[in-house]
Structure 1
Amino acid sequence: MSSLALGAAAAVLGSKYLSARLGLEHDLIFAKIIGRSLVNIALAVRAGKLNFFYMLEDHARAKSTANKPFILFEDQSYTYAETYDIVLRYGTWLKNRKGVSKGDIVALDYQNSAMFVFLWFGIWSIGARPAFINYQLQGDALAHCMRESTAKLALVDPLVEGNLTSEVREKIPGVDFVTVTRDVEAEVESVEAVRYPDELRKEDNYVGTAILIYTSGTTGLPKAAIISWAKLFIGSGLAAVGTGMRKDDVFYTCMPLYHSSASCLGACGVLTRAATLAIGRKFSTKTFWKEVRATKSTIIQYVGETCRYLTVAPPEIDPVTGENLDKKHCVRVAVGNGLRPDVWDKFKERFGIETIYEIYAATEGTQGLWNVARNSFGKGAVGRFGVFSKAFIKGNSAIVELDDETQMPWRDPETGFCRRVKDGEPGEFLAKLPADDIGKKFQGYFGNKNATSSKIMRDVFKKGDAWFRSGDVLRWDNEGRVFFSDRIGDTFRWKSENVSTEEVAHALGLHPAVQEANVYGVQLPNHDGRAGCAAIAFDTPNLTPELMESLATHARATLPRYAVPLFLRVVKEVGLQTTGTMKHQKHFLRQQSVNPKNVGEDRLFWLNGSRYEPFGEREWTQLDGGRVKL
């Protein structure tokens, strides 16, 4: 080989090494996401086309995309042109028949469907704003969300109409509830589609309200987070760029469209690329891969425990050939948030997924993190950045030390300022806000000044500065990765030590018989702090002494002594303690504690010697009477 060839080879290898060492690939992804988003926002502001309705219109009118499928749902396909026509009809109907005006808020109480998208964009087409209602809500929570939206019109899915009882309706007088029945659809189909002038949709403010999306409300009533047009551009860019989405991609989601993951990242991300959106009505391990295969989806979306439930589900076998269908699909990327480290490799290996694209963000948050991972180095990280992007992120965010007693950022008694933690140490993640105009980055909660103010901290590192509180405990490592440690309020204190529920759940999840572990701290009579408890789903109903001893041995070998759960609550199946967005619900479990009277048919165990043993009324009486010291 010539010296020139050797030199060229060495240069290539050197550049690859340098790129890997500095994380330049991740810097490039960062530059594309941020750069393209900012350019697109600027162009949209200049053209007066911040409203995403214009993207749909452009694709519907372009010869190259007009007849391309935009929505796939339950054996139905709608092209961009067909969707545009339907959207215009619904917009015309809303304006002329229902009196919806520019700037009005219209509540949308709907399951996942093509109709959800038609109504959503129909609302946008006449300059109004949708408020996405969690269709699973009932009673006071549902009435509260309707009131908070200030909507005078609510469009309701016939499948969830039953939640709007007479008692709920009485609590929100003045609202016109329209169930979109087949008769209503026929009425809309008879309407002549009108494309109203641009003035009706004109929006000069890129931080103006695009959508209201509610928080999960796990510890109180849901709050309506304001989703701005700028956030839509950034969120859709985050999804499209990070997945490498192309026009020929099919993006499958059965995550709820009322949540920002499926709507802002998923549907809007697809729209930015003129790709195809495949919608599943709701998540089910029995239908997930069937729908992915049927739609030839190339990108799938997950949230929370989705991947765990898919991984522990039995394989689907072809009834004719007997072939295992786990890897019979076209998927190249799985994108979402909440994929735990103990499930990460199992999911990738079982289903043959090439790339995991984990995103960390909050509906109302101001700073997102992401991790494009094709190998085990990125496993479990919610963020991964190169040397330049890490410097940028760290300049606009901070991880600060927490006060163990108050669970608030610690402040120096002399200066009153907070303190950043070192790489490798956990702390609360804060995002920098423009101190003189917070609304440029954080629009807060609609009509709720107190809740908005509670997320803002002042005088954090210097007088007058402003920062957004995430409520999450994260940590950087020295390789440019960011890891999620816990949610503030979920971390509990036992034996004068802080216990991360996420870390304990990860350790328990590595036991071969554990399918799911939801860890939380419980208050006990005659004891300080909170003791660890794990709601566990096993892969067998036979809770033998050997199994319980094996789990105790495993926990002691993988966790510090103070973090080993003292109690187990055995649940019958996975997924029983999750919200509609597949996130573990801990609030009610904490309230029920380990009193056998509160846990229904679940079985309780406690750590006694070398294994977990049954815990019942007799043991609770001993604990309650102060005759047991843990």
Structure 2
Amino acid sequence: MVLPVPIAAATGAGALAGAAYLNARFSLAHDLLFFRIFGATLFRLFRAGRAGRLNVFYVLEAQALDKTTGAKPFILFEGRAVTYVEAYEMVLRYGAWLRECRGVCEGDVVALDYQNSDTFVLLWFALWAVGAKPAFINYNLQGAALAHCLRAATAKLAIVDPRVAESVSEDVRREVPGMEFVVFTPELEAEARGREPVRYPDAVRAEREPTDMAMLIYTSGTTGMPKPAIISWAKVYVAANMSSKGTSAKPSDVFYTCMPLYHSAGSCLAVGSALFLGATAAIGRRFSTKTFWKEVRETKSTVIQYVGETCRYLTVAPPEIDPVTGENLDKKHCVRAAMGNGLRPDVWDRFKDRFGIDTIYEIYAATEGAAGLWNPSRNSFAKGAIGRFGLVSGALSSLRTTLVRVDNETELPWRDPKTGFCQRAKTGEAGEFIVWLPADDIKKRFQGYYGNAEATNSKIMRDVFKKGDAWFRSGDVLQWDSDGRVYFHDRIGDTFRWKSENVSTAEVAQILGLHSAVQEANVYGVQLPHHDGRAGCVAIVLDTPQVNAQVLSSLASHAMEKLPRYAVPLFVRLVKELGAQTTGTNKQQKHILRQQGVDPSKVEGDVLFWLKGGTYVPFRPTDWKALEQGAVKL
């Protein structure tokens, strides 16, 4: 029977409405994305493993030899374009130089101490081409920290960017006996480029398992010396597919990153995504609010990457004005999506609205982590969430990941006194994010830290829900709500107790960040003489150099109105510039601030205030002395 047109139209409209409702109710689109990411990853890993080509060098080779991608730009950097064919040939030349002139063999670890550049990428893939493993060194490191990272890699060779060669001092060299340091000067680079391109036999690049080591990437070292995390081939595949599928990217897209390539965000997520798609990676040497959008426009980038406080710094920076037309250039770009991790809820909409960004793709992952989360968002429903699940993907994820209640005294997962087992957090309750590991073969899911069994074992928790099971500890406290959204609550160790209450530094910073005068807020707990627990303090950057009583009173009123009384910071430390306490990936650091506390003699000339009479007033050395003498009770 043929339905009359009006009835057929109504039926079709009803079906569409029903489908839209089901998608909204159960987040079916997120289920589909979940299966697309893991399906594509497993398929490519299976195919590469079966062919004996797990090494990602083969992905570059395939793109270079493919007629549709070979002539396309793979890398854009400071006005230069390197096509896939050119990159492949140069990788073979550099590989021949490394093997024949520097004695690099398959399985060797080679330290790469380099700023972002096309040369960094070519050296990285040249090491893979000869079966070696790069260890990416944070080029900002000097002295003992640099020597520690070089020793931890057990490398015999370090290739150093001429721009950072001064950091490799004689003291550093003495601390790493037996290591050869090669500064890759223009003369040496010309020598390497002049070699005949050699494609060594596949046996040189033989890898047995997807879990074999591809490279070493170091943790940020915010609470101690950086640790080299083993990045497996499987993790490189997952990262590339997670960011490319999550942003619905196509070969025509251009991924822009100025995040450091020594970190997995810049290397695996951004460059990796472009490579696996046959798209283009536009690379900035370093992050700067003055050059970010200029480079994005020049490269016609369509997907940009952020980490940590990057979006905050871009949002509070003054707009760029065209000197000829006087036009505001904030929305003069080709960007359709921003991907990364650490975009806070108080910045989320301001960043999207100011720069006209359609999609935010927030990712939660750690360099050494055993699982990741993601949240593609085009509206306010999942604003601020670090992950999001549909009905099916949520059910499947809950079999391998969960949140467990935390003991606030020990900062460890809480265990039932009777059974000794942990307890899952309820929906909406904060708990530490943990990931299931195969107890009899941990390395299938968690490869750990290179040469550091103690650090590796510290991340593994056993007998969690039953005898003999094993789980990876993330160290992060998250919340999972009834709509499948996952939110970051705080990092274990950052949460502090005051007046017998737990204070989330992330929550307080988010609330303070909503104040119109606040450009950045870094919240932490400080120990005070004659007081239990830690009092709240915020290192803050305001939008005006002239701090007056009105601004301080407004800030205090805002905090007291929006936060529980115990969570209102008792101290304010006025810092001079954005990013003063951040890592190279724009992630806030707190440990130095905590150590300095609120002793005026230790805050490096910053101005301190404390909460008195409903406002913030100057905190002077005499006030600190009164605290030391026990004359003040807060």
Quick check: 1:50 aligned with 2:43? no
Q: Distance in 2 between matches of 1:159 and 1:274?
A: 30
2:101 to 97, 100, 103: 97
Written as runs of structure 1 = structure 2, the 5 A alignment for 1:441-480 is 441-480=445-484
Q: Distance in 1 between matches of 2:418 and 2:6?
A: 67
Q: Match of 1:425, as an amino acid?
A: E
Q: Displacement of 1:9 after TM fit?
A: 1.0
1:83 to 83, 87, 98: 87
Which residue of structure 1 lines up, in the alignment, with residue 238 of structure 2? 234
Which residue of structure 2 lines up, in the alignment, with residue 64 of structure 1? 68
1:395 to 374, 395, 399: 399
Q: Displacement of 1:428 after TM fit?
A: 0.5
Residue 412 of structure 1 aligns to a residue whose secondary structure is coil
Q: Distance in 1 between matches of 2:398 and 2:610?
A: 43
Unaligned runs of 5+ in 1: none
Which residue of structure 2 lines up, in the alignment, with residue 518 of structure 1? 522
Which residue of structure 1 lines up, in the alignment, with residue 213 of structure 2? 209
Residue by residue over 1:529-558, the C-alpha shift from the partner in whole angstroms, topping out at 9 and shown as x without a partner, is 000000000001121111111000000010
Residue by residue over 1:507-548, the C-alpha shift from the partner in whole angstroms, topping out at 9 and shown as x without a partner, is 000000000000000000000000000000000112111111
Q: Distance in 2 between matches of 1:359 and 1:187?
A: 41
Quick check: 1:270 aligned with 2:274? yes
Quick check: 1:583 aligned with 2:587? yes
1:492 to 489, 492, 496: 496
Which residue of structure 1 lines up, in the alignment, with residue 6 of structure 2? 2
Which residue of structure 2 lines up, in the alignment, with residue 318 of structure 1? 322
Q: Distance in 1 between matches of 2:10 and 2:125?
A: 58
Q: Match of 1:161, as an amino acid?
A: A
Which residue of structure 2 lines up, in the alignment, with residue 255 of structure 1? 259
Q: Distance in 2 between matches of 1:573 and 1:95?
A: 46
Residue by residue over 1:20-63, the C-alpha shift from the partner in whole angstroms, topping out at 9 and shown as x without a partner, is 11100010110100111011111110011101100111111111
Which residue of structure 2 lines up, in the alignment, with residue 197 of structure 1? 201
Q: Displacement of 1:12 after TM fit?
A: 1.0
Q: Match of 1:351, as an amino acid?
A: F
Q: Distance in 1 between matches of 2:16 and 2:151?
A: 62
Q: Match of 2:166, as an amino acid?
A: G
Which residue of structure 2 lines up, in the alignment, with residue 164 of structure 1? 168
Name segments (4+ residues, structure 1) moved above 2 Å: none
Q: Distance in 1 between matches of 2:193 and 2:238?
A: 34
Which residue of structure 1 lines up, in the alignment, with residue 546 of structure 2? 542
Written as runs of structure 1 = structure 2, the 5 A alignment for 1:261-410 is 261-410=265-414
Q: Displacement of 1:4 after TM fit?
A: 1.9
Q: Distance in 1 between matches of 2:7 and 2:86?
A: 61
Unaligned runs of 5+ in 2: none
Q: Match of 2:304, as an amino acid?
A: I
Q: Distance in 2 between matches of 1:62 and 1:424?
A: 49
Q: Match of 2:33, as an amino acid?
A: I
Q: Distance in 2 between matches of 1:504 and 1:541?
A: 23
Residue 246 of structure 1 aligns to a residue whose secondary structure is coil
Q: Distance in 1 between matches of 2:193 and 2:159?
A: 17
Q: Distance in 1 between matches of 2:127 and 2:352?
A: 39
Q: Match of 1:416, as an amino acid?
A: G
Quick check: 1:595 aligned with 2:596? no
Residue 359 of structure 1 aligns to a residue whose secondary structure is strand
1:25 to 19, 29, 39: 29
Q: Match of 2:137, as an amino acid?
A: I
Residue 107 of structure 1 aligns to a residue whose secondary structure is strand
Which residue of structure 2 lines up, in the alignment, with residue 527 of structure 1? 531
Which residue of structure 2 lines up, in the alignment, with residue 611 of structure 1? 615
Q: Distance in 2 between matches of 1:255 and 1:269?
A: 14
Q: Displacement of 1:266 after TM fit?
A: 1.0
Q: Match of 1:434, as an amino acid?
A: P
Quick check: 1:14 aligned with 2:25? no
Q: Match of 2:191, as an amino acid?
A: E
Which residue of structure 2 lines up, in the alignment, with residue 107 of structure 1? 111
TM-score normalised over the length of structure 1: 1.00
Q: Distance in 2 between matches of 1:326 and 1:601?
A: 35
Quick check: 1:146 aligned with 2:158? no
How many residue pairs get aligned? The number is 630
Q: Match of 1:167, as an amino acid?
A: D
Q: Match of 1:124, as an amino acid?
A: W
Q: Distance in 1 between matches of 2:255 and 2:320?
A: 22
Q: Distance in 2 between matches of 1:65 and 1:115?
A: 21
Residue 122 of structure 1 aligns to a residue whose secondary structure is helix
Q: Match of 1:430, as an amino acid?
A: I
Residue by residue over 1:540-593, the C-alpha shift from the partner in whole angstroms, topping out at 9 and shown as x without a partner, is 112111111100000001000000000000011211110111100100000000
Residue by residue over 1:234-293, the C-alpha shift from the partner in whole angstroms, topping out at 9 and shown as x without a partner, is 111101100111111000000000000011111111111000000000000000000000
Which residue of structure 2 lines up, in the alignment, with residue 219 of structure 1? 223
Q: Distance in 2 between matches of 1:276 and 1:13?
A: 38
Q: Displacement of 1:404 after TM fit?
A: 1.0
Residue by residue over 1:423-466, the C-alpha shift from the partner in whole angstroms, topping out at 9 and shown as x without a partner, is 11101100000111111000000000000000000000000000
Structure 1 vs Structure 2 CA RMSD: 0.6
Q: Displacement of 1:294 after TM fit?
A: 0.2
